[in-house]
């Protein structure tokens, strides 16, 4: 079953803007297992689905082998479109529909050292990674940054998991913004970086990795913010090669959204252009690439695109769907 109902068994404030939730089945039955980096989608009435990373700070084995509860944390966004406001209004006993865990941000199996970098609420998947790395006795460093220490949740958990391996950075404590470039320059060439945080932080890391000639796959990241419409976006047509059906894609809607509304069922997950599951072959036309996973050469070839975020530079795209 892809979706199932859970009850909020416990909730509480971690900071003035971050609230934690523990979710369980009403009958106490086990939940599907998961590994570090996984997330669930919470299906909210009148809002749509919202993705939240699962948190484990005690035992990765407990998370993997039929856990009895899921733990998530939600930041109350100042410009919320309804999701975080709804979540912050929940109380113990309220019911939610969630999807089974999915993982587009897994830890690699290589036993070598890794660097974990969290910005704000992006700390949640990295807590689980630190827990898994600790259990496997793998070397790692943990870097956690935010505007002020009062906005940083899970500091006690980080101290337990990472201790001397952790660096906590608060912008208002005199050091200014976190020096991501300095960290990336200091890392040994064989150390991969796992990053989750605000979109500008991730975009900066992507740009730095390109400038520093990092090999593809060394920088790992996950994005939970939805793509924003760009000024000047215009409508275009998409033709599906398998059926010949043609769809008008207006400004403000993605190819994926229009296809789902029309009853099509393309494979997808993140809807943010960072997982690759909706990647589709382009038969004709030129895509306007807006994803975060294709390499520059893949984008230049215009042979594939991510239909959850990318649009068109031509009036029509013909897709292998």
Cβ-Cβ contacts under 8 Å for 245 (sequence gap 6 or more): 239, 262
The angle formed by the CA atoms of residues 88, 4 and 35, to the nearest 5 degrees, is 80
Secondary-structure class of domain 114-222 per CATH: alpha beta
Residue 223 CA to residue 221 CA, distance in Å, equals: 7
Residue 277 CA to residue 128 CA, distance in Å, equals: 23
Please tell me whether residue 215 adopts helix, strand or coil conformation. Answer: coil
Structure pTM?
0.83
Residue 126 CA to residue 42 CA, distance in Å, equals: 20
Tokens of 80: 């919320």
Whether 33 and 52 have beta carbons less than 8 Å apart is answered as no
Half-sphere exposure (CA, 13 Å, Cβ side) for 136?
20
Paired residues of 143 in beta bridges? 117, 167
Domain 3-99, CATH homologous superfamily name and number: Translation factors (2.40.30.10)
At residue 232, the pLDDT reads: 78
Whether 221 and 195 have beta carbons less than 8 Å apart is answered as yes
**3-99 and 236-319 agree in CATH topology:** no
At residue 227, the pLDDT reads: 66
At residue 80, the pLDDT reads: 66
- CATH topology for 236-319 is Ubiquitin-like (UB roll) (3.10.20)
At residue 287, the pLDDT reads: 94
Tokens of 142: 């943990």
Whether 201 and 119 have beta carbons less than 8 Å apart is answered as yes
Tokens of 27: 């009958």
At residue 226, the pLDDT reads: 64
Q: Per-domain residue ranges for the chain?
A: 3-99, 114-222, 236-319
Q: Which residues of 172-209 are buried (b: 16+ CB within 10 A; e: fewer)?
A: eeeeeebebeebbeebeeebbbbbbbbbebbebbbebb
User: Could you give the dihedral angle defined by the CA atoms of residues 190, 219, 52 and 177, in that order, rounded to the nearest 10 degrees?
Assistant: 100
pLDDT tens, per residue, the chain with 321 residues: 589 999 999 999 999 999 999 999 999 999 999 999 999 999 998 888 899 999 999 999 888 888 999 999 999 987 666 789 999 999 999 999 999 999 999 999 888 899 999 999 999 999 999 999 999 999 999 999 999 999 999 999 999 998 778 999 999 997 789 999 999 999 999 999 999 999 999 999 999 999 999 998 999 998 876 666 677 788 999 999 999 999 999 988 899 989 999 999 898 887 888 888 999 999 999 999 998 888 888 999 999 999 999 999 999 999 999
Annotate 30-99 with three-state secondary structure. Answer: CCCCCCCCCEEEEEECCCEEEEEECCCCCCHHHHHCCCCCEEEEEECCCCCCCHHHHHHCCCCCCEEEEE
């Amino acid at each position: 079953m892809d979706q199932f109902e859970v009850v909020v068994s416990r909730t509480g404030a971690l900071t003035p803007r971050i609230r934690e939730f523990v979710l369980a089945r009403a009958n106490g039955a086990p939940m599907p297992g998961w590994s570090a980096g996984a997330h669930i989608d919470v299906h909210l009435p009148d809002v749509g689905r919202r993705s939240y990373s699962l948190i484990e700070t005690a035992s990765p084995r407990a998370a993997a082998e039929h856990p009895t509860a899921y733990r998530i944390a939600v930041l109350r966004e100042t410009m919320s479109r309804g999701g975080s406001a709804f979540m912050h209004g929940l109380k113990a006993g309220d019911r939610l529909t969630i999807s089974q865990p999915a993982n587009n941000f897994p830890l690699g199996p290589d036993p070598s050292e890794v660097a974990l970098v969290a910005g704000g609420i992006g700390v949640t998947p990295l807590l689980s990674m630190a827990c898994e790395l600790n259990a496997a006795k793998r070397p790692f460093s943990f870097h956690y940054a935010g505007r002020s220490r009062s906005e940083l949740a899970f500091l006690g958990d980080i101290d337990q998991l990472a201790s001397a391996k952790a660096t906590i950075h608060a912008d208002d404590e005199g050091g200014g913004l976190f020096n991501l470039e300095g960290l990336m320059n200091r890392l040994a060439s064989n150390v991969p970086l796992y990053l989750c945080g605000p979109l500008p932080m991730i975009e900066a890391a992507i740009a730095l990795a390109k400038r520093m000639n990092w090999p593809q796959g060394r920088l790992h990241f996950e994005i939970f913010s939805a793509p924003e419409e760009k000024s000047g976006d215009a409508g275009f047509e998409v033709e599906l090669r398998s059926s010949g059906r043609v769809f008008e894609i207006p400004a403000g809607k993605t190819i994926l959204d229009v296809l789902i509304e029309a009853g099509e069922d393309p494979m997808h997950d993140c809807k943010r252009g960072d997982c690759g599951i909706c990647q589709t072959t382009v038969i004709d036309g030129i895509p306007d690439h807006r994803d975060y996973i294709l390499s520059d050469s893949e984008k230049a070839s215009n042979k594939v695109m991510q239909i959850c975020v990318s649009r068109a530079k031509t009036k029509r795209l013909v897709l292998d769907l």
